[in-house]
Amino acid sequence: MKEKKTIQLFIQIYWTFFGALTVIDKIVPDVYLYWVGADFYTLFIKSFASLGITDPIFATIALAVISFIEVLAFVCYLFSLINLFKGKDKFSEEWFYRGVSFSVLLFSIFSIGDQVFGDRFNLLEHGIFWIILVVSWAVYKYCSLTEERVINFSLSKDIKIGLLVGTLLTVITSYLILDFSKNTFTNKKQPVQGEEVVQDVYKFDFPFLGDKFVMENTLKAFEEKHPNLKVNYIYTGPDELNSKKKTHMLLYVFTEQQK
Amino acid sequence: MANNYLESNNRIMGKDLIRYFILIYWISFWLFNVIDKIIGGAHFLFVGKDRFAQMERLFDSLGLGNPIFANTALIITAGLETFAFVFFSGALYHFIKKNIDATRSWFFIGIVLTLTTFTYFSIGDQIFGDHFELLEHGLFWFITLLSWIIFIRIDKIQLFDNFSIGNKQVFASIVFTIVITAVSTFSIFSHNHTSFIERTQVIDAVKITENKYKIKFPFLAGSKAFESSIAKFKADNPSLNINYIYTAPAPLRLAESDGLIIYIQTDSIK
């Protein structure tokens, strides 16, 4: 196994998938079966509307231009990867450089947009991806310029022990994952049991798997269990009331006696 | 694997230390990720993250609600993480034994497994539309690449020859450290003494209009403080019925200085 070539391969695989999925996200703009993605169209429409540009043509043109640069970057990464597989390292490097240039241009445009639209979180995200891209290009170049190192792994005693320990740990972990899944999957539908914390106020501590169906089942079960109570208000406990990451969602149900 | 042994040389101690830190970081990183999968769910002394719930919800959002998909994805992840942990541990073992060639090879496989894991996660993040996680995994991918470069290139970086510091400076830094630690420790314990009560303390409601009341909770307040405050409000106002609670959103709070604020709307019990 060639050490530096492998790292180059991983860098190219990462950016090729990154480019491909970004393009797919534009082609498939909404939520479908097997694809959720991010709704960039809505984001662009809202961002432009915040500038006072409500005509959707501007947001649509901006998205199309962005998408075009993303396609260019993806094609470059793809050609770079194909050339690397074919052993044409020089062509691969040239295509990778073109891909990185398009991506740097893209993240620079995004960063300018983020500042215009006042979106500091996206500015941080795009700035971080910009530096990751530049540094991964530098690492790629470093791998091209320095001497290759070949790793010869034979099935020596230490490797055998490593593989055995790894396999054993994976088997144990897999068994426990399946066991946990089997024991907790019912939380996906099962109603949550409420606890009366204040007179006529019930608290429901939802499990992490609990969703809208659990909520509906919980309310149904609660009303069946307490036919004399009328639910007159439901309050979702805000994050500040949660015990950091341990609590998924707290729901308080305020009731009164049926007349 | 060739067994090239490092010469004992004090000057590379600093560089060895950085390599030890890199190895220990990745070993503990993957060890705790594996433990998180083994334990599953929140328990006494370990909260971790309910990965099964997270995966199940993500796959369900794609229309793949059958737990087999979440389980398969989790098992693949656990396999990659376990082997990454084993190879980084092997690298540490060889490093302690000063077998530098074997160290580099084991470390490299650990890096390859780590890059595979974060690439796999990043693909998932884009499919599931979770751009916050994409940023997180992209950053870890980047950290992995950098730690590989630093691990193999540290010999080329000029570090200081030794760690010797003059006695005067050592004494001054120790005194300074002790004084500042004493002050900060006193301040922490004093704050604990006066503020821990806020975790469950009942907060009185303030009347805002005819039928609206405000409760301003301290930062430490948890669900018990909320429940006790509602109980007290009901006890103080037996003729009133709570018909709505409004949580003040972040834009209505004073930057980071306000904790949870709720507004209670009531009507009279007939």
- Evaluate if residue A248 carries a pLDDT over 50: yes
Residue B257's pLDDT band (cuts 50, 70, 90): confident
Judge whether B112 lies within some domain. yes
- Asked whether residue B131 falls in the same domain as residue B172, the answer is no
Contact A229, A256 (CB under 8 A): yes
Residue B258's pLDDT band (cuts 50, 70, 90): confident
Give the mean pLDDT of A229-242: 90
- Evaluate if residue B104 carries a pLDDT over 70: yes
Contact across the interface for B62 and A35, Cβ inside 8 Å: yes
Contact B38, A173 (CB under 8 A): yes
- Residues in chain A with CB shorter than 8 Å from the CB of B40 are 176-177, 180, 184
Q: What is the DSSP letter of B249?
A: P
Residue B4's pLDDT band (cuts 50, 70, 90): very low
| Angstroms from B166 CA to nearest CA on chain A | 39
- What gap in Å lies between CA B144 and CA B110, rounded to an integer? 10
Q: What is the DSSP letter of A30?
A: S
Judge whether B2 lies within some domain. no
Run of H or E including A235: strand A229-237
Report how far apart, in Å, the C-alpha atoms of A142 and of each of A110, A118, A139, A146, B148 are.
28, 37, 5, 6, 12
- Evaluate if residue B32 carries a pLDDT over 70: yes
Q: Which residue in B115, B122, B227 is closest to A18 by CB distance? A: B122
Q: Is the pTM of this model over 0.95?
A: no
Judge whether B233 lies within some domain. yes
- What gap in Å lies between CA A22 and CA A37, rounded to an integer? 9
A vs B, Cβ pairs < 8 A, gives: 206
pLDDT digits (tens, 9 = 90+) for A208-223: 998 899 999 999 999 9
- Asked whether residue B151 falls in the same domain as residue B205, the answer is no
Residues 43-82 of A with CB under 8 A from B: none
Residue type, A172: I
Contacts of residues B18-22 at CB distance under 8 Å and 24 or more positions apart, as own/partner, are: B18/B150, B18/B154, B19/B95, B19/B151, B19/B154, B20/B92, B20/B95, B22/B147, B22/B150, B22/B151
- Asked whether residue B140 falls in the same domain as residue B261, the answer is no
Contact across the interface for A14 and B149, Cβ inside 8 Å: no
- Asked whether residue B90 falls in the same domain as residue B214, the answer is no
Q: Strand, coil or helix: what is B35? A: helix
- Asked whether residue B149 falls in the same domain as residue B18, the answer is yes
Judge whether B3 lies within some domain. no
- Asked whether residue B25 falls in the same domain as residue B135, the answer is yes
- Asked whether residue B112 falls in the same domain as residue B149, the answer is yes
pLDDT of res. B165:
78
A246–chain B Cβ distance below 8 A for any pair: yes
Q: Is the dihedral of CA B147, B153, B159, B161 positive or negative?
A: positive
- Asked whether residue B148 falls in the same domain as residue B178, the answer is no
pLDDT of res. B162:
64
Q: Which domain holds residue B210?
A: 200-268
pLDDT digits (tens, 9 = 90+) for A75-90: 999 999 999 999 999 9
Contact across the interface for B226 and A37, Cβ inside 8 Å: no
A11–chain B Cβ distance below 8 A for any pair: yes
Among A214-218, B39-43, B193-197, whose mean pLDDT is lowest? B39-43
Judge whether B264 lies within some domain. yes
- Evaluate if residue A151 carries a pLDDT over 50: yes
Q: What percent of chain B has pLDDT over 90?
A: 77
- Substitution target from A120, A130, A131, A181 for chain B, most B beta carbons within 10 A: A181
Residues with Cβ within 8 Å of B257's Cβ and at least 6 positions away in sequence, in order, are none
Judge whether B162 lies within some domain. no
Judge whether B161 lies within some domain. no
- What gap in Å lies between CA A232 and CA B242, rounded to an integer? 9
pLDDT of res. B161:
63
- What gap in Å lies between CA B241 and CA B215, rounded to an integer? 16
A134–chain B Cβ distance below 8 A for any pair: no
Output B13 or A254, whichever has higher pLDDT: A254
What ipTM goes with this model? 0.91
Contact across the interface for A170 and B222, Cβ inside 8 Å: no
Taking CA–CA distances from B140, the nearest residue in chain A reads: A132
Output B120 or B16, whichever has higher pLDDT: B120
- Evaluate if residue B62 carries a pLDDT over 90: yes
Burial A94-103 (b: 16+ CB within 10 A, else e): ebbebbbebb
pLDDT of res. A109:
96
pLDDT of res. A147:
86
Give the start-end residues of each E strand in chain B: 206-209, 212-216, 240-247, 261-268
Give the number of other CB atoms < 10 A from CB of residue A60.
14
pLDDT digits (tens, 9 = 90+) for A77-125: 999 999 999 999 999 999 999 999 999 999 999 999 999 999 999 999 9
Judge whether B39 lies within some domain. yes
Q: Is the dihedral of CA A204, A209, A212, A214 positive or negative?
A: negative
Number of domains in chain B: 3
pLDDT digits (tens, 9 = 90+) for A7-37: 999 999 999 999 999 999 999 988 888 999 9
- Residues in chain A with CB shorter than 8 Å from the CB of B112 are 6, 10
| Angstroms from A132 CA to nearest CA on chain B | 6
Nearest-5° Cα angle at B122, B121 to B124 = 65
Q: Mean pLDDT over all residues of chain A? A: 93
- Asked whether residue B254 falls in the same domain as residue B175, the answer is no
A197–chain B Cβ distance below 8 A for any pair: yes
- Asked whether residue B57 falls in the same domain as residue B182, the answer is no
pLDDT of res. A26:
93
pLDDT of res. B115:
98
- Asked whether residue B15 falls in the same domain as residue B54, the answer is yes
pLDDT of res. B2:
41
Give the mean pLDDT of B140-155: 94
- For residue A230, the cross-strand partners are A256
- Substitution target from B37, B72, B101, B252 for chain A, most A beta carbons within 10 A: B37
| Angstroms from A226 CA to nearest CA on chain B | 19
Contact A204, A221 (CB under 8 A): no
Tokens of A112: 């300018």
- Asked whether residue B124 falls in the same domain as residue B174, the answer is no
Comparing CA positions, the residue from B86, B33, B147, B120 lying closest to residue A10 is: B120
Give the mean pLDDT of B186-209: 94
| Angstroms from A35 CA to nearest CA on chain B | 6
Report how far apart, in Å, the C-alpha atoms of A259 and of each of A228, A229, B100, B239, B267 are.
8, 9, 81, 16, 17
Give the mean pLDDT of A155-179: 95
